[in-house]
């Protein structure tokens, strides 16, 4: 076994930073940490290549990429392999972000990986920002991680500004035939795609109650026979900790679907759309949710709605919980949930469909 290593320093002032890989033996692990030199203006990328045979090393290229206004690192290995040769190559990559000695977060305008056979591990990035809003273009620049056949394992904070902790407002994570699991904190949008792989994620959704929704769109019809589990905490960052607008869209195929909220503020708005074809669906909402619901299953089974009407008013206003079914016929159930007497405000909408068991818990 042989190991060679090198490193690259990419300026954080660049409009885009990236790591790309191509080739049949370009595979391994990418770890993103905040172990860089405190106060540095550079992202450091450490790369170690482990190999057994000299022809692997001779045919591998690791280089600095310099498109206009951008910096990146490229890993290139052969697109075709000789049948009479053996190959055993793996790359270990650590992306080291600097920390600030005075707790000022590190800003990264845009960071992207396109590494189809690399797993991604993201640590506690408490003081890093992976994307910021451009005040000139108003365009959001995302953290984007792309992988195939490998897992994305995440424990990351992605928030606008809570205490001294910042990270991406908006993020995209994509893999193929492997799972995405981990914990997120977001304040704008989290997009997940695990083509034909499981998802088991816990997301804290922050919203400033300013009218813009914090959202999670997951539309993955390629998932088959694997669990989709989404757990959320809805958090209002308004001064009184109430209100907030949230949106969740989860659509998949042939898998059990579980969507639950562990907590939600008073007077919040949650619009939720969830569907799974040929799989059961369970949705658990907090009693603070108010709105209308539309549930649909096959004609062979009816949706079920479970609610505890004896709960005390979470706002302390002396209201009573009311859940009313207005239509129940041939696999369709419509209704609404509210606290009465109700005020004049916009409420949420829940739409759930499944060909099998469907359960809404309020």
Q: Which helix (H) or strand (E) holds 281?
A: strand 281-284
Same domain, 124 and 96: yes
**Of 33, 18, 335, whose CA–CA distance to 155 is shortest?**
33
Residue ranges, the chain, pLDDT below 70: 101-105, 123-179, 193-197, 220-226, 299
The angle formed by the CA atoms of residues 56, 60 and 65, to the nearest 5 degrees, is 170
User: 55 φ, ψ to 5°?
Assistant: -65, -25
- Single residue among 173, 197, 221 that ends a domain in this structure: 197
Same domain, 187 and 260: no
Same domain, 85 and 222: no
- Single residue among 170, 197, 224 that ends a domain in this structure: 197
Q: Which residues pair with 219 in a beta bridge?
A: 251
Spatial contact of 73 and 14, defined as CB atoms under 8 Å apart: no
pTM of the complete model = 0.70
| Predicted pLDDT of residue 309 | 94
**Of 305, 303, 306, 311, whose CA–CA distance to 339 is shortest?**
311
SS3 letters for 321-344? EEEEEEEEECCEEEEEEEEECCCC
- Single residue among 150, 181, 197 that ends a domain in this structure: 197
Same domain, 164 and 204: no
Same domain, 171 and 213: no
Which residue range(s) make up the domain with 213? 198-362
Question: Taken in order 161, 167, 173, 178, is the CA torsion positive or negative?
Answer: negative
Same domain, 181 and 69: yes
Same domain, 156 and 218: no
The count of residues in the chain is: 362
Which CA distances in Å does 232 have to 189, 272, 340, 350? 13, 12, 26, 15
- Kindly give the pairing relationship between strand 170-176 and strand 143-146: parallel
Question: Taken in order 277, 278, 279, 284, is the CA torsion positive or negative?
Answer: positive
Count of structural domains, the chain? 2
Same domain, 62 and 145: yes
pLDDT digits (tens, 9 = 90+) for 38-95: 888 999 999 999 999 888 899 899 999 998 878 999 999 988 878 778 888 999 999 9
The Cα 139–Cα 40 span in angstroms is 27
| Predicted pLDDT of residue 116 | 75
Same domain, 223 and 193: no
**Of 226, 171, 241, whose CA–CA distance to 196 is shortest?**
226
Rg (CA), the chain: 24
| Predicted pLDDT of residue 226 | 60
The Cα 152–Cα 172 span in angstroms is 11
The Cα 28–Cα 50 span in angstroms is 10
Spatial contact of 112 and 47, defined as CB atoms under 8 Å apart: no
Q: 3-state class of 58 per DSSP?
A: helix
Same domain, 6 and 153: yes
**Of 165, 163, 217, whose CA–CA distance to 188 is shortest?**
217
Same domain, 155 and 245: no
The Cα 29–Cα 121 span in angstroms is 8
| Predicted pLDDT of residue 134 | 26
Same domain, 245 and 302: yes
């Amino acid at each position: 076994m042989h190991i060679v290593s090198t490193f690259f320093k990419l300026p954080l002032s660049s409009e885009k930073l990236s790591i790309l890989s191509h080739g049949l033996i370009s595979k391994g692990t990418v770890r993103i940490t905040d172990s860089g030199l405190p106060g540095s203006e550079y992202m450091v990328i450490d790369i170690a290549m482990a190999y057994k045979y000299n022809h692997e090393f001779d045919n591998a290229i690791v280089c600095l990429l310099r498109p206009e206004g951008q910096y990146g690192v490229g890993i290139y290995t052969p697109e075709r392999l000789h049948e009479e040769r053996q190959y055993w190559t793996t790359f270990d990559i650590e992306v080291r972000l600097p920390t600030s000695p005075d707790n000022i977060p590190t800003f990264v305008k845009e960071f992207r990986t396109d590494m189809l056979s690399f797993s991604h591990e993201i640590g506690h990035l408490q003081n890093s920002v992976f994307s910021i809003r451009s005040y000139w273009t108003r365009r959001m620049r995302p953290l984007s991680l792309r992988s195939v056949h490998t897992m994305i394992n995440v424990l990351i904070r992605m928030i606008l500004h809570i205490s001294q902790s910042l990270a991406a407002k908006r993020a995209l994570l994509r893999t193929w035939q492997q799972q995405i699991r981990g914990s997120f904190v977001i304040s704008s949008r989290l997009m997940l795609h695990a083509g034909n792989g499981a998802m088991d994620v816990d997301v804290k959704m922050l919203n400033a109650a300013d009218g813009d929704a914090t959202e999670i769109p997951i539309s993955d019809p390629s998932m088959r026979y694997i669990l989709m589990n989404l757990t959320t905490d809805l958090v209002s960052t308004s001064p009184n900790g109430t209100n907030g607008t949230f949106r969740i869209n989860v659509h998949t195929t042939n898998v059990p679907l579980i969507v639950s909220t562990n907590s939600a503020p008073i007077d919040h708005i949650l619009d939720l759309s969830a569907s799974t074809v040929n799989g059961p669906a369970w949705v658990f909402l907090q009693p603070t949710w108010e709105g209308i619901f539309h549930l649909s299953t096959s004609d062979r089974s009816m949706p079920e709605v479970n609610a505890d009407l004896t709960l005390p008013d979470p706002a302390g206003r002396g209201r009573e919980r009311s859940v009313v079914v207005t239509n129940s016929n041939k696999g369709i159930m419509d209704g609404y949930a509210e606290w009465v007497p109700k005020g004049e405000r916009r409420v949420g909408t829940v739409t759930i469909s499944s060909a099998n068991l469907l359960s809404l818990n309020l």
